[in-house]
Amino acid sequence: MSLLLAIRGWDQRYWQEKFQALLHERRVLLPDEVSDPAYVEFIAAWKHAPGSLKAYRNTRAVFSLGAGVDHLLSDRDLPDAPVVRIVDSDLTRRMTEWVVWQALDWLRQGARYRAQQQAGQWIDDREQPSAGDISVGVMGLGELGMASALALHQIGFNVAGWSRTPKKPEGAVSSMPCFSGSDGLSTFLARTDILVCLMPLTPQTEGILNQSLLSGLKQGGRLGGPVLLNAGRGGLQDESAILKALDRGVLFGASLDVFRQEPLPAGSPFYNHPKVRVTPHNSAMSHPDAIAGQIVQQIHRLDSGGTLLNVVDRQAGY
């Protein structure tokens, strides 16, 4: 029996070696090494070609090599097996770093001071707000959103959250205002200076970062206007609405790690936009050792009669 690696865009051989070094009792195969699909017991995938997994009818679980599973669930021919995602403390920490980095860069006017330094200028003529003057709204209070909310709260931002189902946070963020569903959205947006989007891409969230949502954000504020940070998925974005909102001053700025088309094509208006910071979908890279280790552990759990962890709800899409 074997584990099939179905990967596009990453180095397949590298991942194969990582998995094979940990999974001694099974062969780890790439698609063109499979002679009989019936012997494929597990699949670990990242952005496989839709339809290409149809033949693997004995699959016991399909593992995503990342936290998101939209790349799997958008494939109508995915084998009818549990879909498992990654929940990893290293990945969560990296995402928290990105969110905090971007929030602080907007708060502390990073672009302005970098430009001043390059121009050899010493200008200290502007008032500097502090984190306590800024309300951050985190959309998506899952593994990543909750960790980011906690870190932002610890820095002193006024943090609130929004999710699909109601939340009662515990510990340091127990007093964080939490909103949910379409009923809670407008109140959540109206208090938000920095909107952090850490939601999955599902049929319900596709294009949610649109003109109507952006125009519901708090206008004015100590940053000069609202700022969007999106590291969820590009499919959440209505990109022309974001550009219009930036150009019309409805949005003051945006930090975007994800795009509808990746790699973001040369010539995209996002690259040179003075109010946009672009990172190449690497806010929270999956570390191969941690990811392969976690998936192999899950396989061993099944082997010893246990159940899989982090199985997604195929109906909800995440």
List residues binding ligand OXD (CB under 6 A): 66-68, 284, 286
Q: 87 or 150, CB closer to ligand OXD?
A: 87
Among 16, 59, 96, 163, binds ligand NDP (CB under 6 A): 163
Would you list the DSSP string of 280-299?
A: -S-TTPPPHHHHHHHHHHHH
- For ligand OXD, which is the closer residue by CB, 143 or 193? 143
DSSP 194-208: EEEE-----TTTTT-
Indicate the DSSP class of residue 28.
Answer: E
Minimal distance, residue 285 CB to ligand NDP, in Å: 7
To the nearest whole angstrom, how small is the minimum distance from the Cβ of residue 227 to ligand NDP?
Answer: 17
Report the number of secondary-structure helices (H) and strands (E) in the chain.
10, 12
Query: Which residue has the closest beta carbon to ligand NDP?
Result: 142
Q: What percent helix, strand, coil does the chain show, rounded to 5?
A: 35, 15, 45
Helix residue spans in 76-216 (DSSP H): 89-107, 110-118, 143-155, 181-190, 211-215
Neighbours of 17 (CB within 10 A): 13
CB of 153 to ligand NDP, least distance (A): 16
Using CB under 6 A as the binding rule, whether residue 257 contacts ligand NDP is answered as: yes
If the CB atoms of residues 59 and 148 are measured against ligand NDP, the closer one turns out to be 148
Q: Which of 284, 291, 295, 299 is close enough to bind ligand NDP by CB under 6 A?
A: 284
- Helices 143-155, 89-107: crossing angle, 10 deg rounding: 40
Residue 276 DSSP SS3: strand
CB of 291 to ligand OXD, least distance (A): 9
- 89-107 vs 110-118: helix axis angle to the nearest 10? 70
Q: Report what 102 binds from ligand NDP, ligand OXD, none; CB cut-off 5-8 Å by kind.
A: none
Write out the catalytic residue numbers. 233, 281
Yes or no: say if 101 and 110 are a contact pair by the CB < 8 Å rule: no
Nearer to ligand NDP, 216 or 232 (CB): 232
Q: How many chain residues touch ligand NDP (CB under 6 A)?
A: 29
- Decide: is 198 part of the binding site for ligand NDP (CB under 6 A): yes
Task: List residues binding ligand NDP (CB under 6 A).
Answer: 66-68, 95, 140-145, 163-165, 198-202, 204-205, 231-233, 257-258, 281, 283-284, 318
